[in-house]
């Protein structure tokens, strides 16, 4: 007997990737149901060569029985509908930020903290895309050397803002006078140091997600994280320039060995051959790619690295489906 799985927000940029990822990873699904708003209810999405009709999301349908419901329809949809589904004994894997910091809700990167899923049923939170790839790369080094401080700047793809942002960039690439609606500035030919809302301390919500989600996943609130999140005119794939200072002095050869054997990490790092990861090359893949690994010129306990991953896949859909796989394997 296969699983009954639902995808909420199935017509969106991440939702479509979730459907694709369920198919690609050959999840044993008996029945797949897709949900969206009245805007696209009744349209179809392809899964394993058949067209599945998108249903309207209602409170009633969330009370049906599902083994897993994957949500990616925004925070307010998750806030309202995820508890209804969980009350009906369904497991929700939620890609929105709404439940991530709620005590008792597991926030999971399967390569890093699968243990928090043992015996759990209810709402599980999928971390922010920028946090996921940073944690996949840094957690194995944290275990060895202990992270003291991270300074990170992100170069984030527009697909992280949903399908309408992809359309906005593509339209501006054809006509640079196409008006900006999603972003505060034109995104074509530009980079915008502003993702999500600003707080009084000068940081954006996206940046603070990287701070507090890192603490929760690594179970260590003492790690000092200092992020700057920037949107750039790339469609798929977030990049991050990361400076990390450890408690113990890292040995660079050992750092390569650790990263080369870390789950979900691929090292591409050969400056002599111009080899380093870029978003165009790693888009549509599931791994987190690391390059430009080097020691700080002044502080022997610090290194710099460049980390790239597909934000819709490892940063969202793949991580969500891996959570499903992990929960199944723990049964
Ligand atoms: P719809 O296309 O019917 O509006 P994206 O992140 O690419 O913008 O996609 C958001 C996804 O969330 C879409 O599938 C969208 O469906 C869905 N969605 C947004 N608001 C709601 C809502 N109130 N109820 C159900 N689905 C929603």
Read off the pLDDT of residues 74-112 as tens digits, 9 standing for 90 and up: 999 999 999 999 999 999 999 999 999 999 999 999 999
Query: What is the average pLDDT across 253-269?
Result: 98
d(CA 31, CA 53): 12
CB of 159 shorter than 6 A to ligand 1 = no
> Sign of torsion, CA 191 192 195 196?
negative
Residues 147 and 20 in one domain: no
Using a 6 Å cutoff on CB, does residue 291 contact ligand 1? no
187 shares a domain with 105: no
Mean pLDDT, residues 211-238: 98
Cα separation, 16 vs 83, in Å, equals: 23
Same domain, 302 and 166: yes
Count structural domains, the chain.
Answer: 2
Ligand 1 proximity of 40 Cβ (cutoff 6 Å) = yes
Residues 60 and 185 in one domain: no
Give the mutation target among 7, 8, 9 for probing the ligand 1 site: most ligand atoms within 8 A of CB.
Answer: 9
Shared domain for 143 and 276, answered yes or no, is: yes
Residue 135 sits at the vertex; the CA angle it makes with 217 and 95, to the nearest 5 degrees, is 65
Answer yes or no: is pLDDT of 1 > 80: no
Locate tokens 């701070």: which residue? 211
pLDDT at 256 over 80: yes
Same domain? For 321 and 260 the reply is no
Residue 238 annotated in active site: yes
Residues 190, 75: one domain?
A: no
Q: Decide: helix, strand or coil at residue 262.
A: coil
**Residue 79: enclosing H or E segment and its boundaries?**
helix 75-87
ipTM surpasses cut 0.90 = yes
Residues 15 and 112 grouped into a single domain: yes
Same-domain check for residues 103 and 220: no
First to last CA, the chain: 15
Average pLDDT of every residue of the chain: 98
pLDDT for residue 128: 98
Tell me, yes or no, whether 253 and 265 share the same domain.
yes
Cα angle for residues 268, 148, 267 (degrees, 5° grid): 5
pTM: 0.98
CATH number at residue 110: 3.40.50.720
Distances (CA, A) of 138 to 36, 129, 214, 246: 36, 14, 10, 11
The domain that holds 210 is classified in CATH as: 3.30.360.10
**Per-residue pLDDT averaged across 137-163, rounded?**
98
Taking the centre of ligand 1 as the mean of its atom positions, its distance from the CA of residue 93, in whole angstroms, is: 16
The atom of ligand 1 lying closest to the CA of 11 is 14
Residue 193 structural domain? 130-311
């Amino acid at each position: 007997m296969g699983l009954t799985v639902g995808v909420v927000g199935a017509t969106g940029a991440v939702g479509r990737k979730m459907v694709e990822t369920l198919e690609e990873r050959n999840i044993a699904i008996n029945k797949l149901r897709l949900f969206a708003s009245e805007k696209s209810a009744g349209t179809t999405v392809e899964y394993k060569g058949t067209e599945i009709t998108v249903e309207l999301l209602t409170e009633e349908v969330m009370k049906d029985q599902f083994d897993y419901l994957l949500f990616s329809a925004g925070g307010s949809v998750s806030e309202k509908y995820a508890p209804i589904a969980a009350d009906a004994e369904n497991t929700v894997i939620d890609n929105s930020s709404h439940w991530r910091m709620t005590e008792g809700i597991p926030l999971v990167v399967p390569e890093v903290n699968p243990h928090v899923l043992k015996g759990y049923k209810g709402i599980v939170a999928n971390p922010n895309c920028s946090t996921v790839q940073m944690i996949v790369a840094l957690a194995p080094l944290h275990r060895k050397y202990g992270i003291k401080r991270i300074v990170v700047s992100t170069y984030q793809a527009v697909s992280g803002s949903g399908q309408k942002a992809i359309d906005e960039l593509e339209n501006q690439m054809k006509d640079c006078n196409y008006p900006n609606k999603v972003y505060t500035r034109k995104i074509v030919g530009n980079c915008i140091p502003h993702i999500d809302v600003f707080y009084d301390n000068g940081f954006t919500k996206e940046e603070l997600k990287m701070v507090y989600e890192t603490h929760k996943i690594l179970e260590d609130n003492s790690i000092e994280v200092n992020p700057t999140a920037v949107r750039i005119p790339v469609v798929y794939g977030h990049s991050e320039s990361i400076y990390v200072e450890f408690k113990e002095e890292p040995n660079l050869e050992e750092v390569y060995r650790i990263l080369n054997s870390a789950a979900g990490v691929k090292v591409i790092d050969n400056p002599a051959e111009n080899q380093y990861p870029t978003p165009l090359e790693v888009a549509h893949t599931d791994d987190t790619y690391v390059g430009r690994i080097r020691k700080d010129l002044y502080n022997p306990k610090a290194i710099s690295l460049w980390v790239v991953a597909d934000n819709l896949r490892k940063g969202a859909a793949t991580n969500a489906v891996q959570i499903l796989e992990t929960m199944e394997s723990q049964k």
